[in-house]
Every structure is written in C-alpha cells, then in structure tokens.
C-alpha cells in the first residue's frame, strides 16, 4: 500500500440488485468510503451512488481487500442489515494466501484487538483493553512458500484477519502493515471477501452471495 492513492478504474461489478439489496464485488485498491481530503474522495460508495443514488452504506472492507459488499437500497434495509451485522448473524467467508506452511488443517484464533494509537490505523493484540476478536480458519491448499486458507470471522474488528494471521506466524501475503520481507512482496494484499450469508430485509429469507476470488 503506497502513500499515493491510485484506485483501479474499472466498471462496477454488480452481483445482485433488488428493491432492498445491492451486492457488489469491490476491487482491491479502492476505498469503501471517502478518506480525509479531496484526493481520497473516490470510493466504492461514491461510485455506487452515482448509479444508484438511494444506496446506503452498511459495512466496509479495507482498501486493499477485494470482494463482496452489501449496500442497502432503503433506510429500512440499512437498519435491518445493520442489526444483523451487530448481532453477528451475517456469516462471512474470506480467502487468503498466507506466508509459510500452516501446520494444522484448521483452528481458531481468539485474541482481543485494539487500535495501536501511535501507529494507527494499525491494530494490535491487547488483553487488558482490547475488544473480543475471533477468527476460525481452514487450510484449502499448500503452495510452495504459502498456504491458501479460508477465514471465517466471528467478529468484525478492524484489520482482524490481518492481525490474527500475523499473530499465528502466517501474515497475509502483500500486507503492507503486518507482513515483512518476502511475505510483503505480493502484487496486492492477498485477502478476498468471498461470501456473505444474510437474511433479506423483506421477508427474512436466508441468502448467500459470492464473489469469485481473483487470485
């Protein structure tokens, strides 16, 4: 992640749209919401609202993470979805390529997180003041110097997956904050939000939406 912000110039990838929901596949390198300053104004939210003026923010992904995001098309849907996220009813799955060979086939990381104030936006583990953060993970495939894993966050802390993988000794490839040396030398952050399972705000039916992993 360089200091310069050069977001990808590509058309919106719409995964699903109806009267309450809009699901899109966010490209890596694009902010979810505007940053501070005019140079950080270009973001997924502004691009979406240029086409769908009624679209409302529900959650966000890190700039360097790609994948599925849901937006609400009505205030009712925004409240409904917001509560689902708050109550941890939304099921999320990510794909990541992490450094090294992960010994176990699956596991859980349970480490509380808090912002690292002198180094923000970085986060770090803090057992005294950190907020609970839990990630389940499963190995998908072993590569030469890396392991492909699927990550299932039970909580939604900032940078949660990135810090948790670093803490078990397997930082996500290409992570500008938490990877070092060779692990950092990837073309992008190798983290992709693959699927979201949620209840439709109109009727409550359970639905799963997916965005194919680009790496």
Instruction: Specify whether the CB–CB gap between 49 and 56 falls below 8 A.
Output: no
Per-residue model confidence (pLDDT) at position 1? 46
Structure tokens at 101: 């060979």
User: 65: Cβ–Cβ under 8 A, 6 or more apart, which residues?
Assistant: 26, 28, 94, 189, 191, 192, 193
Neighbouring CB atoms inside 10 A of 182's CB total: 11
Per-residue model confidence (pLDDT) at position 4? 85
Q: How far apart are the first and last CA of the chain?
A: 17
Q: Beta strands 21-26 and 66-72: pairing type?
A: antiparallel
Mean pLDDT per block of 10 residues along the chain (215 residues) reads 82 98 98 94 97 98 97 98 97 98 98 96 97 98 97 96 98 97 96 98 97 98
Q: What is the DSSP letter of 102?
A: -
The H-assigned helical ranges of the chain are 44-51, 75-86, 160-167
- The DSSP annotation for 194-208 comes to EEEEEE-TTT--EEE
Per-residue model confidence (pLDDT) at position 80? 98
* Closest listed residue to residue 159, CA positions, set 214, 119, 101, 213: 119
Q: Active-site residues: which are they?
A: 62
* Closest listed residue to residue 168, CA positions, set 79, 97, 100: 100
Report the SS3 class of residue 150. Answer: strand
């Amino acid at each position: 992640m360089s200091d310069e912000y050069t977001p990808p110039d590509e058309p919106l990838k719409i995964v699903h749209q109806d009267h309450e929901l809009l699901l899109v596949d966010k490209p890596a390198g694009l902010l979810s919401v505007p940053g501070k300053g005019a140079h950080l104004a270009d973001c997924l939210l502004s691009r979406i609202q240029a086409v769908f003026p009624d679209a409302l923010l529900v959650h966000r992904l890190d700039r360097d993470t790609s994948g599925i995001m849901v937006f609400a098309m009505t205030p009712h849907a925004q409240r409904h979805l917001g509560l689902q996220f708050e109550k941890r009813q939304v099921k999320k799955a990510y794909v990541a390529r992490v450094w090294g060979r992960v010994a176990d086939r699956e596991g859980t990381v349970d480490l509380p997180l808090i912002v690292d104030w002198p180094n923000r936006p970085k986060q770090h583990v803090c057992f005294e003041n950190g907020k609970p953060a839990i990630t389940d993970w499963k190995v998908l495939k072993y590569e030469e110097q890396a392991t492909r894993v699927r990550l299932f966050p039970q909580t939604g802390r900032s940078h949660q997956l990135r810090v948790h993988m670093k803490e078990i000794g397997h930082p996500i490839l290409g992570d500008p904050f938490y990877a070092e040396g060779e692990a950092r030398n990837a073309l992008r952050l190798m983290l992709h939000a693959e699927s979201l399972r949620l209840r439709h705000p109109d009727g409550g039916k359970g639905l799963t939406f997916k965005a194919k992993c680009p790496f």
